[in-house]
A and B are shown apart, each in its own frame.
Chain A
Amino acid sequence: MARDAQENLPFAIRHFSPEALKEALRKMHLIRLFEEGAEESYMRGLIHGTMHLSIGQEASAVATCMELTDADKITSTHRGHGHCIAKGADVGRMFAEFFGKETGYCHGRGGSMHIADVKTGNLGANGIVGGGLPIAVGAGLTAKRLGRDDVTVCFFGDGANNEGAFHEALNMASIWKLPVIFVCENNKYGMSTAAAYATAVPNISDRAAAYSMPGVTVDGNDFSAVAEALHIAIARARAGEGPSLVENLTYRWRGHSKSDRNRYRTKDEIEDWMSRDPIQRFRAELIAHGVLDEAGAEAVEAAAKDAVAQGIEFAKAGPAPAITDVTKFVHAEAAA
């Protein structure tokens, strides 16, 4: 391809191999299907508690994690299923956690709000809004002190940017030039509270200026735009130049949690965002650029469907934790 034509291609198409792009599409489907499976399990009474679904935010999760290896870390949030899958977790063990099984990632102790595969670099979903922000900075400090080149991506929501922890964390990451990328998934609301009401600046990326780091706002439903922003931020972090703040504008299709009656937003707004599905958009882009054809895309989706169906079966078959083990994992097991 001529160089000019190359440059007109979206970043993701230029930058990633067709295999990597197909895998990204598969993960986006996997997230959507995991969330739908979780929702259905809840409706059928298979699980208790609550859950925060990330349907509509799949591009943000997957594109953000595109260049991360298992050595790189993420900190996640209460809306963390997508991050977990994007970072490489197995949906069977995720469902098992969801069903409270010993075979789940947290051995049934954590549930939806804490599902995380530590082995793939996920330092944890979090029940506390903003809880992961300083932890990510700590992970950045470790990498720097130990001379490693891994980076940490810190996912958080628009709501979290008003917690004190956000401001303290960004400041420290900046003064110590730590390899941390703060990724705000701005889905317009923290529960029912509009970011436009709760946050004093128009863009959350504007906050970066206060902490002397680059800040950028991108269309979080545009896979390529997110991947490019992360590419730049990760390069900066690996080069020892310090943290960045990336704001992915996106939207959650479902209510905040299972108890949301959606009284704070209109049906029109929800439908408008749903008509711009990030998965269909990415899929169309891949087809348009010849990465795959319709049949290929169908096959990717079908593979994700299989994985979810198998995952649910794996989860159902797993054993429950023993009641007598209620205090197991509170401390390290004493060495024998």
Chain B
Amino acid sequence: MNAQTHIKEAGSKTREMSYAEAIRDAMAIALERDPTVVLMGEDIGTYGGAFQVTGDLVDRFGKDRVMDTPISELGGAGVAVGAALTGLKPIYEFQFSDFAALAMEQIVNQAAKLRYMLGGEAAVPVVFRMPSGSGTGAAAQHSQSFEAWFGHVPGLKVVQPSTPAEAKGMLLAALEDPDPVIVFEHKLLYKMKGEVPEGYYTTPIGKAAVVRVGKDVTIVASAIMVHRALEAASKLAAEGIEAEVIDLRTVRPLDRETIIASVKKTGKLLCVYEGVRTLGVGAEISALVAESEAFDYLDAPIQRLGGAEAPIPYNPDLERAAVPQSPDIESVARKLAKGEV
């Protein structure tokens, strides 16, 4: 993928890493470069994190910089906010993004608003890492996709890297950012491998990436959905339908330009996201296109594929049915391209 195009200060060499390893690499680089960086979270030390993302960092950087917190999400997130407000750069890991619900107060009422409420005199450069999404059989309280929730809050930035290279670059960008950033890491991507540039670089927040060029239909997807969309696109290509796939990467702020330019070219838009369909990220993308000059270029109604209007169920077949899968994307994109919608 073209993470390369957004790389700043990147070493020329790359190395194959998993998504989880790439995030760990970013954290190790940050801990080395900046003594104010601290990692906080439940079982991120000896255990290595619920998804083994922090791994051996505690052995390398010690318990003072890789801090196990008690099971206290509201307090832990709040301590990170207070530390960020006063000179540290904490990366707080939630074991599952679902548990951020316990910390909404500190994220939404405090972190997101402090700079504004204090008239620009204060800053909260905190990063919240949130393993997210379904597909692991963990059911309703461990599988949610909260991008739209946090995307609704001015003051927050919300990113969803979809590849190892993006995961590393966006985490480093989040740390450079002077404001709070939420990083959603899709659990099904942790083991995914990819080429990752060595050393320090950032992948900019607020820039989507065109990961497949096409002329017939635009598919805007995020996180794991990028991969499902690419799979669908390659099937469609065999039928002569060329889908353009955009990796959204950032939910807030949205990259209007990239989306609008693509829709002007293809005249057709399909939004694919894992969060609940209603009032989700796709609604915002649809609206921004409908409100823009791209509206005149639309040849078909905008389509959305999102999560079912239900909690994520446990039964594996129900769970699969609850979020968009590659064949769903293929089928809607095909209909759009053929003018059957």
Interface residues of A (CB under 8 A from B): 47-50, 97, 100-101, 106, 108-114, 126-131, 159-160, 162-165, 190-193, 197-199, 259-260, 263-264, 320-321, 323, 325-327, 330
Contacts and interface: CB of A to CB of B under 8 A. Distances in A.
Contacts of A50: 136-138
A260 B47 CA distance: 8
Given A100-B317, A327-B309, 11 more contacts: A48-B316, A108-B314, A109-B311, A113-B139, A128-B141, A159-B70, A190-B70, A198-B70, A263-B46, A263-B47, A323-B317
Contacts of B46: 192, 263-264
A232 B239 CA distance: 74
Contacts of B72: 162-164
Contacts of B47: 191-193, 260, 263-264
A259 B190 CA distance: 14
| Interface SS majority for chain B | loop
B109 interface: no
16 contacts: A108-B313, A109-B140, A109-B318, A111-B139, A113-B141, A127-B98, A190-B70, A190-B71, A192-B45, A192-B47, A192-B68, A259-B52, A323-B318, A326-B310, A326-B321, A330-B310
Contact of A127 (B43, B68, B142, B316): B142
A325 B309 CA distance: 11
Interface residues of B, number: 37
A327 B71 CA distance: 32
A62 B308 CA distance: 39
Contacts of A48: 136-137, 316
A191 B45 CA distance: 12
Contacts of B309: 327, 330
A212 to B, nearest CB: 23
B315 A114 contact: no
Contacts of A163: 71-74, 102
A191 B68 CA distance: 11
Interface of B: 42-43, 45-48, 50, 52, 68, 70-75, 98-99, 102, 136-142, 308-311, 313-318, 321-322
A113 B142 contact: yes
Contacts, number: 129
A106 B310 contact: no
A108 B70 contact: no
B99 A128 contact: yes
Given A48-B137, A326-B321, A327-B308, A109 B313 contact: yes
A201 to B, nearest CB: 12
Contacts of B308: 326-327
Contacts of A131: 141
Contacts of B317: 100, 320-321, 323
